[in-house]
Structure 1
Amino acid sequence: MVLLSDFPQITVADASLPLQQYLPSWLPELLAQQFILAYWQWIAIFIIVLLGFIVDKWLTWILTSHIRRWKKKQSVSNIDDGILRPVGITAMAIVWWGLLGLIGLPATGQQILAAVVQLLVSVSLIWGIYRIVDIFHLFLMEKAKRTANRFDDLLVPMLTKSLKAFVIIIGIIFAADNLNIDVSSLLAGLGLGGLAFALAAKDLLGNFFGSLTVLLDRPFQIGDWVLIDDVEGMVETVGFRSTRIRTFYNSLITLPNATLTNTKIDNMGARRYRRMKTQLGLTYDTSPEKIEAFCEGIRTLVSLHPYMRKDYYQIFFNEYNASSLGILVYVFWETPDWNMELRERHRFLLDILRLAKKLQVEFAYPTQTLYLKQSAAEMAMTDDVALNMTNGLGKQFATDIVDNQHQADTSRLP
């Protein structure tokens, strides 16, 4: 029977010593044997590494559960459950650093351990700040969606991308410094190669300054309908290198920002009013009274439709066409987007059609009129007599029309 007295007793003086000095004295002799390190040290390394992984997974599970409950409570869905994953990696590195230092690793092992822990802490710190920038981005985007101004929709993504680039650069310098890499010589080397880098990155710098031009000059905003050269669609994102436009056939076109500084940009989304210019063709047998009533009815429709511009529009009998009487309809809508414009145009055109049905006004379509040859008795009149008679009738009818219209206008005067 193995008794407790068979094991070496640990005195108060032994307890004050480092673990690696008094622990081998009460371990079996087999574990005190060595292969580079003592066997018990290999076992301790395995247990400590495993313990670090367990702490990482346990802490990640707790934080993920809290994030999920918070998302459910706040009705938020665009935050990743593992956004706090770097905290678990940091805890694992701390466990390794704290416990592996107790087992008496040699100096080389201590240096390797320090390098690994510093690398893990640096990576987790950079990763953690990077994810904090994501949270900052989501918070600002929620604020931007509540504002009527769409400039912040353009500014927030560019700001968060700048912060991420800054975090990565500073993180690399921080990690290199912790690993005892000479950062000053590295930066000096970058300074000496700055000219070559600038020449090689000419397009990159051009795109960067193009993005600054878009940000400062604001030729368009996120969601605007734009026409840039032969590219037409809705602005989806603006980055430091390129601008992405979603076309109306749902493809995604990427334009380098450098091209935006020297090309024509037609911002259809910046229009205050949306115009429609068309001609309605009436049949030639439409009476003048019906034409007047029809035009006045369309003007009334313009005044009654809520989104139509009331201070400027043109509704007039405008042209004699080959097979119709042309009514000019020149109107505007004050609508925020294309969908509403189409809806209001649809309502307006349907109301015009209903008005034409009420007034019994018919729309013309291309026609040809055939005249039959007159009989010999009707053609006996000489050309001179026919011309004089026609001219006399034309003058008489014209004089009567002007006189009647003048009398009607005079009677309406106060």
Structure 2
Amino acid sequence: MDFINFENTWVQIGISAGILLLFLALRKVFTTYVFKMILSFMQKRKVETAANILIAFEKPVRWLFVIIGLQLALKFFPYDLIADNRETQIFRSLFVLLITWGLFNLSSTITLLFPRLMNKLDINVDRIVIPFITKIAKLIIVVLGITIIAEEWKYNINGFIAGLGLGGLAFALAAKETVSNFFGGVIIVTEKPFTIGDWIKTPSVEGTVEDITFRSTKIRTFAQALVTVPNSTLANEPIINWSKMGKRQIAFHLGVTYTTPKFKLEKLVRRIEQMLIDHEDIHNDTILVKFDRFNDSSLDIYLYFFTTVTTFAEYLNIKEDVNFRIMDLLEEEGVEVAFPTRTLIVQQDGLAVGEQQDLLKKERLHSHS
């Protein structure tokens, strides 16, 4: 009888181990073949939403095979390793954890799905809002998962919430900076002084906005450094958003030589003004080209106008093109650009050098005569 029981025990252990190995093998088959085949099919049919859901739940489903296999294996195992009520709590908690994990991964796809949904509903939503929605969704999913697991283990959630209420004041004082950064982020999202991808300048930093979180905003400087600025700082600083410019200013003085005749100067001014008016990338609302002043070494023409583009690279291209066209006009009119000059008169014994040379010449002539 003992031999039969011993034999049955080993049979049950073998069945238990076989069930676990079977589900581990099914997990391998799913990962290697089934998952890739379904994902490839969805991508070919361009079912992007279903593909995103499948990708989000890939790792939780892998572990689902292990958990189900372990649960079934324990049913055939001849010994009670865990009490039945504890076993139920553990496996229910693990299932909730897997669902929470999958939903957490899926919430990241809001960044892709939310704009499309808003476009279909004809609702204009700024890109700056999407990271906040993603992070709020993740927070809600995690809190719900923890709450369900806590209730499964008979933890008093109401007592926990009451405890938070009693310690709320101390928590608020300890997390003052965090709270101010959070509300700073809310102000940035609601007022929208900038969005992701904008070029901004503040007293703290200048660069392109890369990301906005509950606590801070990440800005990539033109030196490619990543600067993290607290939202409370940004919310209280003046912000220049260069990306919101409708046009971009160019203003400078062009100095020509004093030997330039009046009629040439007038003609040059008119031709430069006409060139700017005809230029396809110059804003025609404000074009000023005027003979402005008599400078120390030059006659200065003042140019003030705006480009129709605002991106820095295109702006520089237009500025370069205008400079080359001005050089062509100067060459055509025979006008030279002035450079700083200075006339130096050196005196010797109260006489200028030129007067000394004249006196020496007269003395030589007198001696020869």
**Class of the TM-score when normalised by the shorter of the 2 chains:** 0.7 to 0.9
Distance in 1 of aligned mates of 2:292 and 2:203 = 35
- 1:135-174 residue pairs with structure 2 within 5 A? 135-140=109-114, 152-174=126-148
1:357 corresponds in structure 2 to: 331
Q: Residue 84 of structure 1 aligns with which residue?
A: 57
Amino acid at match of 2:24: F
Partner of 2:156: 182
Equivalent pair of 1:278/1:329 in contact (CA under 8 Å): yes
- Asked if 1:265 is matched to 2:239, the reply is yes
Match of 2:6 in 1: 30
Cα distance, 1:258 vs. partner?
Answer: 0.9
Question: Quick one: which of 35, 47, 51 aligns to 1:63?
Answer: 35
1:60–1:87 Cα contact (<8 Å) kept = no
Deviations 1:29-75 (A, max 9, x none): 4334xxxxx44443333223323323333333322443245446659
Rounded to whole Å, the distance in 1 between the matches of 2:263 and 2:135 is 66
2:227 matched residue in structure 1: 253
The CA RMSD measured in Å over matched residues stands at 3.3
Q: Which ranges in structure 2 are unaligned for 5 or more consecutive residues?
A: 346-351, 357-369
Q: Give the alignment of 1:79-118 within 5 angstroms.
A: 82-85=55-58, 86-98=60-72, 100-101=74-75, 106=80, 108-118=82-92
What residue identity is the alignment partner of 2:38?
H
Larger RCO, structures 1/2 (Cα 8 Å, 6+ apart)? 2
The match for 2:201 is: 227
Distance 2:339 2:219 in 1: 41
How far apart are residue 301 of structure 1 and its match? 1.8
CA gap of 1:68–1:287, structure 2 versus 1, over 3 A, is farther
Alpha-carbon spacing, 1:58–1:181, altered in 2? closer, same or farther (3 Å): farther
Contact 2:194 2:200 in 1 (8 A): yes
Partner of 1:326: 300
Q: Does 1:191 align with 2:165?
A: yes
Structure 1 Cα separation of the partners of residues 202 and 243 of structure 2: 13
Contact 2:100/2:145 (8 A) holds in 1: yes
More moved, 120-129 vs 218-227: 218-227
Identity of aligned residues (%): 29
Taking structure 2 as the reference length, the TM-score comes to 0.82
CA deviation after TM superposition for structure 1 residue 81, in Å: 8.5
Aligned in 2, Cα 1:151/1:188: closer, same or farther, shift over 3 Å? same
Matched pairs, number = 345
Point out the more displaced range, 96-105 or 192-201.
Answer: 96-105
Structure 1 residue 95: Cα displacement = 4.2
Question: Given residue 138 of structure 1, which amino acid in structure 2 is its aligned partner?
Answer: L
CA distance in 2, matches of 1:256, 1:315: 45
SS in 1 for 2:284: coil
**Larger CA Rg, structure 1 vs 2:** 1
Matched, 1:127 2:98: no
Give, in whole Å, the separation in 1 of the partners of 2:11 and 2:87. 18
